[in-house]
Amino acid sequence: MSEDCLSLNVYTSDVSPTANLPVMVWIHGGAFTLGSASTYGGEVLTAYHRVVLVTINYRLGPLGFLQTLDDEAPGNFGLLDQIKALQWVQNNIRDFGGDPDRVTIFGESAGGFSVSSLVMSPLATGLFHRAISESGAGLWPVLEKGDLSVTQTIAGKLGCDVNHYDNMMRCLRGKPADEIQRAPEMTQLTYFVIDGRFLPEHPWHLLQKHRLNQVDYLLGTNTDEFGWLLSITLTYVDDDGMNMTEFNAIVPVDLSVMTGSIYPKGDTSTLVPAVLKEYRDPVRPEDPMAIRDQYLQFLTDMWFASSTVMVAQAQSEQPVKVYQYEFQHRTSILSFKPDYVKADHGDEVLYVFGGTLLRNVTSGSWLFPLTEKERELSRDIMAYWVNFATNGDPNDSSGSPRMRTLVDWPRYTPSSQAYLKLDVTSSADVALRKTRMKFWNEEVPRMMGMTSEPTGNGAKLNTGSILVVLLPLVFVLLATM
């Protein structure tokens, strides 16, 4: 294990310095604890479209996000690494045929949250011009500057004296990097730090005040985030569903993490009953399968859909273009997933990078036995993404080959709240999960005591959520597929 990991990969359709191709910079996911740029190949995307693709690495886990009381580890190193990569792109991408004035950052899960944080950061101003967040935007857990709770937890795991700062730091400096990196439990979240530089304030306040970089933004979620891992992580969740006792027991645990990391002044004694009421199926309140499905929607809404809509709304109130989607397709080869799961966390990545179009180099046959409609969906998604990177509009194919006539993707505005349902037969709609998004983005902040002015926004350390387990695990499993 080494901190000498700040490398990147460049794929290009044309190496001529005068090509002036749009540039897409991919930030990988993995809960800020695992993942690698090399997992994502750009061969298909750059073969189908005239674009330069850059995939970057950044420091993860304690090496990327540990906070101390001095400048040696002020927190957010992983995010600052992303800033450094974007600076490299500005200085060097012309040598690979790229246009430094047309840079789009995009990422999924932790990568999507990274993109969203870069949109909020004054340090990133001018380093990119468009942004795409897939299943991750807005509200990631944060700590106040000087909060050593996570550092002390890791130091304690390594046998260091956590009661005396100087002793603790001396002990940590004497530990090999690989030991420090392995110290956190898999259930321990990685936190951003409100450091006054990268993050001037809590993300919720930055969104409310529209203190955001004015860049075009394309963002969205999948229908059933983390659905296929429920039965793995929670043994009592399966094809037969879950009972109300189990539902009532696990929801407060998940909410405590959300409340502790996003709304630290909140009182879960009032929030829990409201959520249990909101996610009680009115037609089949005692049906185990309905209860399970409501729990899955609760997770998707709480961690992904609500904050994505919050970001879309805030960004659309600026003089920029915003496009929202919901990926809905159940991929045919993912038969190991339960029948009740449609589009899961990370499912769209295969389509974004054109993995559906890979062939065996020897036989020429398709590498994955997908349907032709799924390959067409991949061609469409690649075209939408590159069109957006090229022109700021996923419908505008000028400068990018159109694979077939695309369904018109309406622009998201504060009033229309339009979005595109991405599937083998895509269609437009408005106001994604309108009632529940209003609950999460208006009622919950009010119930949790959030105000227009920051009043101490750091998180309380909490490691009990099902999502804390799922975020790292999903990428471990995806990497082995």
Residues 6+ apart with CB under 8 A from 452: 205, 208, 209
**Strands across the sheet with 427-430, in order?**
8-12, 52-56, 21-27, 98-108, 130-134, 216-222, 322-327, 418-422, 427-430
Specify the DSSP class assigned to residue 124. G
Whether 380 and 395 have beta carbons less than 8 Å apart is answered as no
Q: DSSP letters of 451-479?
A: -SS-S--PPPP----HHHHHHHHHHHHHH
* 3-state secondary structure at position 351: helix
Kindly provide the b/e burial profile for residues 27-60, where b requires at least 16 CB atoms within 10 angstroms of the residue's own CB.
Answer: bbbbbbbbbbbebbbbebbbebbbbbbbbbbbbb
List the one residue out of 67, 464, 418, 54 whose CA is nearest residue 250. Answer: 464
Kindly provide the b/e burial profile for residues 116-151, where b requires at least 16 CB atoms within 10 angstroms of the residue's own CB.
Answer: bbbbbbebbeebbbbbbbbbbbbbbbbbbbebbebb
Q: How does strand 216-222 pair with strand 130-134?
A: parallel
Residues forming the active site: 109, 225, 345
Q: What are phi and psi of 22, to 5 degrees?
A: -65, 150
Residue 69: Cβ within 10 Å count: 13
Whether 243 and 178 have beta carbons less than 8 Å apart is answered as no
Specify the DSSP class assigned to residue 405. P
Specify the DSSP class assigned to residue 228. G
Residue 442: exposure state from Cβ atoms within 10 A (0-12, 13-18, ≥19): exposed
Specify the DSSP class assigned to residue 235. T
Q: How does strand 52-56 pair with strand 8-12?
A: antiparallel
Whether 325 and 422 have beta carbons less than 8 Å apart is answered as yes
Q: How many angstroms separate the Cα of 238 from the Cα of each of 224, 291, 332, 469?
A: 15, 11, 20, 18
Residue 269: exposure state from Cβ atoms within 10 A (0-12, 13-18, ≥19): exposed
d(CA 408, CA 399): 18
Whether 226 and 345 have beta carbons less than 8 Å apart is answered as yes
Residues 6+ apart with CB under 8 A from 354: 44, 45, 47, 48, 378, 379, 382
